[in-house]
A and B are shown apart, each in its own frame.
Chain A
């Protein structure tokens, strides 16, 4: 999969490039408006990561340019602005997703995969790992073809891990992702352990060939059994 990163901040661009290459993507870079347009005109990309504020123009104009080319390119807007207006405008112009800085690299990778999956398997948004299938739309979990009932939080946790297989996830980051802003001062993650215990038991009882392992006592990792 070929990705173009349009980002003028050298440090962030460098980091994203390294991280995405490590995930097995082919990555190219553009640092300003004109070079981005040049590259888009000449080469074909599966996915474009687009910063909105660029030297020489707005990322939103690049987005219009891409959509004008009538090519099937997924666009994820990456912006420091984190404003609803930008998000709405971007999505109206045809962007596939919107990610506000600062973001987790794992989140970025998950979004790229999710966007790609959506455009390839028309309408099938399910996450698949081994014999486990997670359907975010209907909020159903299927293990080896049988449905396993999950509580709301259990489902959210599993979804978060299914988007980041083989990545170490800090339980504080997990807690914030699932419980939202409510946890930002919590000094105890008892509530994570309780949900995690039930989720792991449900997965192993259903005979799933993935498991969520505790790592060093401060984090978890989703791995194949």
Chain B
């Protein structure tokens, strides 16, 4: 969810609550004020009638065109004692002038004349209908809510968008960041101290990360590099021993065993060095390479080597696929993909190789799908770990594909499929 949507959502929700509470208070205050005014009017009206009644002056006619009504009835002293002297109520009454029921405010007033008999004066004046007022207020509140909301959101979005430009630039930078590549400096074109702090912290973190990345690359490179000479010495010494005439068969076998293990180490080391070089962007020179002819050479070689397992390859598809890349890397890419299929394919199976358009697909038999997230990682060995396998073959393929932005994917459809799109 985008930050601005979240702000809009919260604004709408909180303003809804605020407007509801405000609406209730507003209605209460308004109603109270109207009632108050009406009561004052009723009071002076009834005072006027009582004074006239007591003084024997002619009291106004009931139907005087003002919609106000009153009547006076005689009540017993008991009744007079049992009710409050003055009381108000809201009720629907029939207004003779209008000929219909209307909401009205009613005032009851008990008074006594000079003969000590009690009378009750009831005065009524048409008032507002509460439901109408609530509806009217609600309607205007909803209207106000939307007007306010639109204004609020408009202003907020404008303010946020304008002031958060540095953050936006920072987010764009983070999105475009690629470790180990040449990255632009973190954008820090702002006077706002919080954003400056974030930008500076990000730059520092990125620098630190770059240094570590560099160091790690250098470390692998240097370590592999430094291993070359000791490995050469070991290999040389073993070969000299192997040439000695006094060697027994058993000693020779042991030495050969050591030498083979040592050669594995040499290859492992060479592959690590190669990967470091690819990741460091060496192998600059490129040429047009025909992938199909590389595939044919490799397949022929592997058919011969893995013939003892009854394995063979089948090449199908286009007669050529020209890719512009480093020649050495193209042959490493093809031979590693194919070798992987031969090494991990079961006996008497077929390795399928197809070239269609810009796509090279290599398939081999296998029981269960492999972990596609880890299969191209360094030193990852599948469930059927092969003796002597370095676990670097596919990682090397990944490095090369990354170097040239080729897409590389693995999927399982009853067979293992490795696909490169050049």
Real binding pair: yes
Q: Which of A46-85 contact B (CB under 8 A)?
A: 80-85
User: Once the chains bind, are A172 and B263 in contact (CB under 8 Å)?
Assistant: yes
Which listed residue, A19, A179, A218, touches B253 by the CB 8 Å rule? Answer: A218
CA distance in complex: A9, B236 (Å): 14
Sample of 11 further A-B pairs with CB below 8 A, known A181-B332, A184-B390: A19-B240, A22-B243, A80-B225, A84-B283, A102-B266, A103-B235, A182-B301, A185-B343, A187-B387, A190-B308, A218-B256
The answer to whether B232 touches A102, judged by C-beta atoms less than 8 angstroms apart, is: yes
A121 to B166, CA, bound (A): 74
* Complex CA–CA separation, A215 to B308 (angstroms): 22
A106 touching B386, Cβ below 8 Å: no
Beta-carbon nearest neighbor of B283 in chain A = A84
Contacts A15-B237, A170-B259; A184 near B267 (Cβ below 8 A): yes
How near does chain A come to B79, taking the closest CB pair, in angstroms? Answer: 115
Known contacts: A15-B233, A19-B236, A172-B260. The answer to whether A80 contacts B228 by CB under 8 A is yes
Q: Which residues of A have CB within 8 Å of B306?
A: 186
Which residues does A use to contact B, with CB under 8 Å?
9, 11-12, 15-16, 18-19, 22, 80-85, 100-106, 167-168, 170, 172-173, 176, 179-188, 190-191, 215-216, 218-219
Q: How far is the CA of A163 from the CA of B234 in the complex (A)?
A: 21
Please list 6 pairs of residues, one from A and one from B, whose beta carbons are closer than 8 Å in the complex, sorted by A's number: A19-B236, A22-B243, A84-B328, A168-B242, A170-B242, A216-B249
The smallest C-beta distance from B289 to any residue of chain A, in angstroms, reads 16
B242, B253, B307, B339: the one within 8 Å of A190 (CB): B307
Question: Contact string, B304-325, partner A, CB cutoff 8 A, digits 1/0?
Answer: 1111110000000000000000
A219 vs B255: C-alpha distance in the bound complex, in angstroms?
Answer: 12
Q: When A and B form their complex, which 4 residue pairs have the shortest distance between CB atoms, in order from nearest?
A: A102-B232, A190-B308, A80-B228, A102-B231
Q: Does B388 sit at the interface, judged by CB under 8 A?
A: yes
B266 to chain A: which residues have CB within 8 Å?
Answer: 102
Inter-chain contact count A-B, CB under 8 Å? 119
- Nearest chain-A residue to B269 (Cβ)? A102
Residues of A within 8 A of B242 (CB): 168, 170
Q: Are B389 and A185 in contact (CB under 8 A)?
A: yes
Give the chain A neighbours of B225 by CB distance below 8 A. 80-81
What is the minimal beta-carbon distance from A22 to any residue of chain B, in angstroms? 7
Residues of B near A184 (CB, < 8 A) are: 264, 267, 339, 388, 390
CB-based contact A101/B232 at 8 Å: yes
Verify A103–B253 contact, CB threshold 8 A. no
Q: Does B298 contact A (CB under 8 A)?
A: yes
Q: Are B282 and A12 in contact (CB under 8 A)?
A: no
| In the bound complex, CA of A173 to CA of B238 (Å) | 13
Max chain A Cβ within 10 angstroms of own Cβ: one of B233, B252, B335, B387: B233
Q: Which residues of B contact A103 (CB under 8 A)?
A: 232, 235
**B236 CB, min distance to chain A CBs, angstroms:** 4
Q: B339, A9: Cβ atoms under 8 Å?
A: no
A residues near B387, Cβ cutoff 8 Å? 187
Q: A15-B233, A218-B256 are in contact. Are A182 and B267 (CB under 8 A)?
A: no
Interface bits B240-253 vs A (CB < 8 Å: 1, else 0): 10110000010011
**Once the chains bind, are B230 and A11 in contact (CB under 8 Å)?**
yes
Q: Which residues of A contact B256 (CB under 8 A)?
A: 170, 172, 218-219
Least CB distance from A91 to B in Å reads: 15
Q: Tell me if B277 counts as interface (CB < 8 A to partner A).
A: yes
Question: Are B302's CB and A182's CB within 8 A?
Answer: yes
Residues of B within 8 A of A218 (CB): 252-253, 256
